[in-house]
Structure 1
Amino acid sequence: MRILTLLIILLFCTGSYSQNDLGIFKFNRDIGDPDHKGSVSYDSNGQVYTLNGSGYNIWFERDEFNYLYNEVEGDFIITANFEFLGKGVDPHRKTGLMIRESEAEDASHASAVLHGDGLTTMQWRRSEGDEMQVENNEIRSPKNHYEILQLERRGREIIMRAAHWGEPLQVIGSKEIESLDGKVLVGLFINSHDPATIEKAKAWNVRLDKPVSEKYNPGEEGWLGCRLETISIEDGKRKVIYSKNDRFEAPNWMPDGNELLFNMEGSLYTIPVNGGEISKLDTGFADNLNNDHGISFNGELLAISHSPENEGSAVYVLPLEGGTPQRVTEKTPSYWHGWASNNEEVVYVATREGNPTYDIYKKSIHGGEEIMLTDTKKGEHVDGCEYSPDGKYIYYNGSSSGTMQIWRMKPDGSEKEQITFDANNDWFPHISPDGNWIAYISFPPEIPVNDHPSYKRVTLNIIPASGGAPKVIAYLYGGQGTINVPSWAPDSKHFAFVSNSGEKAE
């Protein structure tokens, strides 16, 4: 009996302190000794946090609430979606993101706050014990009911952003807070605003990212953390299925819908869509692959871009199940980007002797001459060429308008037509298998127009293939390698991508 009791105690303690219980976070505490103890539960399948907490308020000179957090140094970005559960008792119940100096009830903090009545605010206490007042310690958003909240620390500056689902993040406010420039606590909170009540909220798409410096050079400093994610385009719910404190890139969704294919360390690997063991795909002698690879429309062939010794990248094809690649492009460099819907041709970007700019070419996988489809002027760039499933168009990104935008043309290179018109720089259009949607990655205007670096603040957008306003489906830290290749699931309802996590993959 004594041995059985000890085993039960051991199992209980092990479960109570398992890291998976708190997702990416390490600590969960009640701050300020509220009357009712708070708690957190984590659904690892949906990667959703349920927050339970009480407390009189987070205001005046002291706070009471439940806090889920990590200790973090340096610059960072934390982003999450929030929703209250139930009607609630007090309209000023609060949930959101918090940066806090310590666990002390009167510690300084900066918070992105969603109130029960939809009010969305940035609130702060500059130093320990300061009394918070509306006129001195709060910025109210002109709009309410924001679902997505974000806090960024950039040196001593704290920046709050917020968004409704499908829209770009908007800056709500920013403050320099000297007491929050060292090691701080960063995470999610909930407060009931009624000491006798426990309120509930859920949070999802929780990401804690560590930005790199503007001078960061991955070739010299080494590659940092990456996450392989899937997303539902209907509601934007994301799931991390694989992470590594190193570089990997560019997922394809396998035709059976059950696995993803991605490149890492010069090779290709598969992984189940819900996570699990990775398996190396046999690509024969081709062991120096870049992030340009993809599957034919009939699901039988795989195109890869491999750089043989002493040569630039060339396009090859092989059976999807693996095998010996057959070379398609004799000239280098050539970077694959799309299959023709007839499964007999590929399109790729390349530079050729006497023309240093990249252009789009197509060629039969059975041989013959390559056909040049664009004639890019000096200072311009094209990339990301991909056929629509019906074979009527080739979509691509090009900078002839002055910014990088999404374009399309007929398969013979005629009737070039601009699709997106915005101040951002848009890259890598991917057409859903049902032909209804175009997904692409959007870089902010400050990124050089013809560049697409990694470790940048970007969004994933979709637009109807028939035209219309773009919808933001994901806010992330990423760029090069995020969606260089076709990433749609066969059901046209899900998408795969790689995000950069910065210092360490969480």
Structure 2
Amino acid sequence: MIRTLQPGQRCEVWIASVTCQAELLYSSDGLLFEAPNWTLDGAALVLNGDGKLWTLDVTGGEPTEVPLSGIPDLNNDHVLAPDGAGIFLSANDGHIYRALLDGRPATRITEDDGSFHFLHGVSPDGKELAYVAIEAGDFSQPGRLMTIASDGGAAASVDLGRFDVGSAHCDGPDYSPDGKWLYLNTESFGSVAGHAQLARVRVDGTGFEQVLASGTVDWFPHLSPDGRYATYIRFPSGTVGHPADLPVAVVLVSTEDWTTPLHTWPLFGGQGTLNVNSWSPDSTRFAFVAYPPADSTKE
């Protein structure tokens, strides 16, 4: 399903820094953009919107559509390959694809294994992808943490990469910069349905542990390329899933102390705000998206 703005609602793309400053890069009352990545050269953001892929120069201007072919409408799960030229994408048909930012035809990676595949991370060496599998696209079922070879093949159709992180729902797996850990959000540490918390597990499947215990619902942890910082999105207590159009906050922490935020940015958003890793290659800035409603006022 392609998301659209509500009447009077805006889409705002923001860039924030580890010095706790933030600036509005782009605002639209037409297209709803989601889930920014940062290109390897530091020059642009990559977002999805209207089922398509777009680039947006970090110095400003209008988004430019990437002319993809051979792929259905996109959802908001996409990550750039470490080579800076390729990009891995989840589409609304439940499959993961690889494409190039120059617009050449996309190639499907995942096979018809009975699951929907929602991509979230690529290993630092580009050889492996981390995704969440939803059995038969039935969203009443918990997501399973999986990895596959980035070139697809047999590993995409069997549970070779399945991790034991409990039977509860998990989502948002992203690799640490050293490739040793997968960071994710999971309901395995709570007794209340929907109470997602931040955790990590080693890529060999061992060492599953909680990294932050809180009374809020916390999703999508993403580490900076230098490993010093992390961002995540904080939903209100009692939230189930990661819905759109809620009062949420983007949180910046030091990876030395996840319990003490360096800064928080309250906003109206949720789905689409911070689904994928949005750090700049120099680890000094990150991007997120807000969706202020018609009755909001700018401070």
Q: Counterpart in 2 of 1:460? A: 250
> Do the aligned partners of residues 389 and 320 (structure 1) sit closer, same or farther apart at CA in structure 2, a change above 3 Å counting?
farther
2:291 counterpart of 1:500: yes
**How far does the alpha carbon of each residue in 1:60-93 deviate from its partner, in whole angstroms, 9 at most, with x for none?**
xxxxxxxxxxxxxxxxxxxxxxxxxxxxxxxxxx
The count of aligned residue pairs is 281
Residue 375 of structure 1 deviates from its aligned partner by: 5.3
CA–CA distance in structure 2, aligned partners of residues 226 and 445 of structure 1: 25
Greater gyration radius: 1
With the length of structure 2 as denominator, give the TM-score of the two structures.
0.87
**One of 117, 139, 144 as aligned partner of 1:334:** 117
Please say if residues 244 and 269 of structure 2, whose CA atoms lie closer than 8 Å, have aligned partners that are also in contact. Answer: yes
Residue 241 of structure 1 deviates from its aligned partner by: 2.2
Counterpart secondary structure, 1:342: coil
Q: Which amino acid aligns with 2:21?
A: G
Counterpart secondary structure, 1:439: strand
Please say if residues 252 and 262 of structure 1, whose CA atoms lie closer than 8 Å, have aligned partners that are also in contact. Answer: yes
**One of 275, 295, 315 as aligned partner of 2:60:** 275
Residue 504 of structure 1 deviates from its aligned partner by: 7.4
| Higher relative contact order (CA closer than 8 Å, sequence separation 6+) | 2
Q: Counterpart in 2 of 1:351? A: 134
Please say if residues 434 and 492 of structure 1, whose CA atoms lie closer than 8 Å, have aligned partners that are also in contact. Answer: yes
Q: Counterpart in 2 of 1:414? A: 206
2:259 counterpart of 1:478: no
Residue 416 of structure 1 deviates from its aligned partner by: 0.3
Residue 426 of structure 1 deviates from its aligned partner by: 0.6
Residue 456 of structure 1 deviates from its aligned partner by: 1.0
Q: Which amino acid aligns with 1:438?
A: A
Q: Which amino acid aligns with 2:83?
A: N
Q: Counterpart in 2 of 1:292? A: 77
CA–CA distance in structure 2, aligned partners of residues 376 and 356 of structure 1: 13
CA–CA distance in structure 2, aligned partners of residues 484 and 382 of structure 1: 13
Q: Counterpart in 1 of 2:227? A: 435
In structure 1, the gaps of 5 or more residues are: 1-217
Residue 297 of structure 1 deviates from its aligned partner by: 2.3
**How far does the alpha carbon of each residue in 1:437-461 deviate from its partner, in whole angstroms, 9 at most, with x for none?**
111000111323xx11111111111
Q: Which amino acid aligns with 1:393?
A: W
4+ long deviations beyond 3 Å: 218-224
> Do the aligned partners of residues 255 and 221 (structure 1) sit closer, same or farther apart at CA in structure 2, a change above 3 Å counting?
closer
Q: Counterpart in 2 of 1:487? A: 278
In structure 2, the gaps of 5 or more residues are: none
**One of 306, 320, 325 as aligned partner of 2:106:** 325
Q: Counterpart in 1 of 2:28? A: 243
Q: Which amino acid aligns with 1:247?
A: L
**One of 285, 295, 305 as aligned partner of 2:90:** 305
With the length of structure 1 as denominator, give the TM-score of the two structures.
0.52
> Do the aligned partners of residues 245 and 504 (structure 1) sit closer, same or farther apart at CA in structure 2, a change above 3 Å counting?
farther
CA–CA distance in structure 2, aligned partners of residues 374 and 221 of structure 1: 39
2:185 counterpart of 1:397: yes
CA–CA distance in structure 1, aligned partners of residues 7 and 206 of structure 2: 42
CA–CA distance in structure 2, aligned partners of residues 257 and 439 of structure 1: 18
CA–CA distance in structure 1, aligned partners of residues 223 and 244 of structure 2: 22
**How far does the alpha carbon of each residue in 1:77-126 deviate from its partner, in whole angstroms, 9 at most, with x for none?**
xxxxxxxxxxxxxxxxxxxxxxxxxxxxxxxxxxxxxxxxxxxxxxxxxx
> Do the aligned partners of residues 244 and 291 (structure 1) sit closer, same or farther apart at CA in structure 2, a change above 3 Å counting?
same
Aligned-residue RMSD, C-alpha: 2.3
Q: Which amino acid aligns with 2:104?
A: G
Please say if residues 248 and 270 of structure 2, whose CA atoms lie closer than 8 Å, have aligned partners that are also in contact. Answer: yes
> Do the aligned partners of residues 275 and 244 (structure 1) sit closer, same or farther apart at CA in structure 2, a change above 3 Å counting?
farther
Q: Which amino acid aligns with 1:346?
A: L
Q: Which amino acid aligns with 2:228?
A: N
Q: Which amino acid aligns with 2:187?
A: S
**How far does the alpha carbon of each residue in 1:107-154 deviate from its partner, in whole angstroms, 9 at most, with x for none?**
xxxxxxxxxxxxxxxxxxxxxxxxxxxxxxxxxxxxxxxxxxxxxxxx
**How far does the alpha carbon of each residue in 1:192-217 deviate from its partner, in whole angstroms, 9 at most, with x for none?**
xxxxxxxxxxxxxxxxxxxxxxxxxx
Counterpart secondary structure, 2:12: strand
Residue 220 of structure 1 deviates from its aligned partner by: 11
Q: Counterpart in 2 of 1:152? A: none
**How far does the alpha carbon of each residue in 1:375-421 deviate from its partner, in whole angstroms, 9 at most, with x for none?**
542xx310010001110101000011113111110112221010011
**One of 423, 429, 444 as aligned partner of 2:236:** 444
Please say if residues 459 and 475 of structure 1, whose CA atoms lie closer than 8 Å, have aligned partners that are also in contact. Answer: yes
Q: Which amino acid aligns with 2:154?
A: G
What does residue range 125-164 of structure 1 map to in structure 2 within 5 Å?
none
